Structure 1
Amino acid sequence: MLTPAAPLRDPAALPRLLLTMVAVALLWPGVSLSELDLGVLFDGRNAEPMGSFLSAFWPPAHAEDFLALLLQATLETLAIATAGLSLALLVALPAALLASRALSLSAVSRGGRPHWLANAVRWPVRALLIVLRSVPEIVWALLFVRAAGLGPTAGVLAIAITYAGMLGKVYAEIFESVDPGPARALLGAGATRLQAFAYGVLPQAAGEMLSYTVYRWECAIRASVVMGFVGAGGLGQQMDLSMRMFAGGEVASMLLTFLALVLLADLLSRLLRGRYA
């Protein structure tokens, strides 16, 4: 006689429930400290001002003189993001090579035990990358606006400093995550570390690096827009002026332009990954 099968029970149900309860208990004080109140969005007193504000967004501004101004601001934003990211790459790539253990000769020859001289170079570089990315770009922009005056220069320098730290950290982690076999074989055969990087590490890391770099370019576009509100030029500065004049149609046109730029970055990422990855 067959005995009835025992009911199926997820053995991880209790740990998941406990973990959820712990997460809620930890997050609840944060919600309280942030003074989050979603009820204000549905308050009748706020509905009319919000409706008036949103209704001003339609139709988007499309006057010829405004579109010419929008094109100039868009090109300036792209230039700020591209120039800032290019300067960041000049710092991030060599810093990532110094901070990564992927090409460490000591790791190859001593079974993973780094030499003290390698650490003497690696840890200061990692500390520098932490310092560069720990200060938000908007803070750097405020400082450079005071030093260099209003305009795109402050935005370029702010993006270059912050993104150098971000790119250097992620590139170093990408280098260390690839298969170390080819690079170690090249190093063992007498190749230089630059050759081992070019033929053993870079081909494996190229796809991930390209994807992250284009993503950071997209982030740089958004950051340049935000920095425009503090006088760093580009679309952000123009949007600040339009919002001060309550020109909702102009703001709507700029938001549509932001959407187009993000779609452009996504398309560029796909093309580069398909071509070089």
Structure 2
Amino acid sequence: MSQTTTDPATLSPVPSASILDDHARGWRKKLWRASLVGAVILVASWYVGLLDFTTLANGVPAIATLLGESLPPDFTNITDWVAPLIDTLAMSVAGTAIAVAASVPLAFLAARNTSPHPVVFHVTRTFLNGLRSVPELIMGIIFVAAVGFGALPGVLALGLHSIGMVGKFFAEAIEHVDEAPVEAADAAGATRLQVLCHAVLPQVLPQFADVSIYRWEYNFRASTVMGMVGAGGIGFELMGSLRIMQYQEVSAILIVILLMVTLVDSISGYLRKRFK
């Protein structure tokens, strides 16, 4: 009997030259793109003076002098900062609540798979883009001029600006839902509202909660800036100390803000774990 032998080359084929060439071309494209991004970064850094090491070196003594004048921190008036800190925290909570409440219906209108009409989709997306394009600091100045000093203009500014960001993230979460439950609900004869409530909303609630908590954390930091334009909070105290050049008090307020931001970050981390 003759025994047939199998060619080893047929069992473990060696990659052909064309496959190696395609792999090399892929790496060359990646290298070219990375080089292009690096060139853009270098040009931007040069344009803004980040590569002007002489100017940077000349600024070091001034920074060192300022740091020297800021030490040691002066906590003499710390009791006067409790109420502004509460104002800042309340501003962040209220502003985030406004944003979340308004963003949920707007997100369904701004998502391609749930918007009732393309015109509604584009109008809602444009509206969210408009809110997002105006910095909250500018909104704060406008609302201070409209309703006066205090926490209210800060809440309105944070809330409106946050709608643009939160609504966008909510809409993107809705666009990535699994279509199987939606199709099953449609096949069962559910109305459009029932489909949204029972097939779409349960899928996106964890993402909604995550985005809302992150936005609250951001809004707390942003609310300190709101105080600098007269919208109340600890930022107002910080601006007052800067104007009279009380740098030791400024450093103390910055330390208090840092501690509060750390606390808010810890609370937001705990809440994210609870909503998973």
TM category, shorter: 0.7 to 0.9
TM-score relative to the length of structure 1: 0.82
Between the aligned partners of 1:88 and 1:144, the Cα distance in structure 2 is 16
Between the aligned partners of 2:253 and 2:183, the Cα distance in structure 1 is 50
Match of 1:52 in 2: 65
Cα distance, 1:102 vs structure 2: 3.8
Q: Are residue 26 (structure 1) and residue 40 (structure 2) matched? A: yes
Between the aligned partners of 2:54 and 2:225, the Cα distance in structure 1 is 28
Query: Aligned-residue CA RMSD in angstroms?
Result: 2.6
Q: Are residue 140 (structure 1) and residue 153 (structure 2) matched? A: no
Contact in 2 for aligned 1:103/1:193 (Cα 8 Å): no
Match of 1:91 in 2: 102
Query: Per the alignment, do residues 102 and 50 of structure 1 end up closer, same or farther by CA in structure 2, a change over 3 Å counting?
Result: same
SS in 1 for 2:209: helix
- Show the 5 A alignment for 1:1-277: 11=24, 12-36=26-50, 37-43=52-58, 46-63=59-76, 66-103=77-114, 118-277=117-276
Query: Per the alignment, do residues 227 and 62 of structure 1 end up closer, same or farther by CA in structure 2, a change over 3 Å counting?
Result: same
Cα distance, 1:71 vs structure 2: 1.3
Partner deviation per Cα, 1:147-174 (whole Å, 9 max, x = no partner): 1222222211111111111111110101
Between the aligned partners of 1:20 and 1:141, the Cα distance in structure 2 is 39
Tell me, which stretches of 5 or more residues in structure 1 are unaligned? 1-7, 105-116
Contact in 1 for aligned 2:213/2:272 (Cα 8 Å): no
Tell me, which stretches of 5 or more residues in structure 2 are unaligned? 1-19
Contact in 2 for aligned 1:103/1:183 (Cα 8 Å): no
Between the aligned partners of 1:255 and 1:202, the Cα distance in structure 2 is 40
Residue 30 of structure 2 aligns with an amino acid whose one-letter code is R
Partner deviation per Cα, 1:68-125 (whole Å, 9 max, x = no partner): 2221111111111111121222221110112223446xxxxxxxxxxxx622322211
Residue 61 of structure 2 aligns with an amino acid whose one-letter code is E
Residue 99 of structure 1 aligns with an amino acid whose one-letter code is A
Residue 272 of structure 2 aligns with an amino acid whose one-letter code is R
Contact in 1 for aligned 2:100/2:212 (Cα 8 Å): no
TM-score relative to the length of structure 2: 0.82
Pairs aligned (count): 256
SS in 2 for 1:153: helix
Between the aligned partners of 2:98 and 2:138, the Cα distance in structure 1 is 18
Cα distance, 1:222 vs structure 2: 1.7
SS in 1 for 2:117: helix
Query: Per the alignment, do residues 57 and 275 of structure 1 end up closer, same or farther by CA in structure 2, a change over 3 Å counting?
Result: same
Between the aligned partners of 1:194 and 1:54, the Cα distance in structure 2 is 59
SS in 2 for 1:246: coil
Contact in 2 for aligned 1:226/1:236 (Cα 8 Å): yes
Between the aligned partners of 1:214 and 1:258, the Cα distance in structure 2 is 19
**Among the aligned pairs, what percent are the same residue?**
35
Between the aligned partners of 2:218 and 2:200, the Cα distance in structure 1 is 26
Between the aligned partners of 2:121 and 2:165, the Cα distance in structure 1 is 16
User: Which stretch shifts more, 222-231 or 246-255?
Assistant: 246-255
Contact in 1 for aligned 2:154/2:226 (Cα 8 Å): yes
Residue 58 of structure 1 aligns with an amino acid whose one-letter code is L
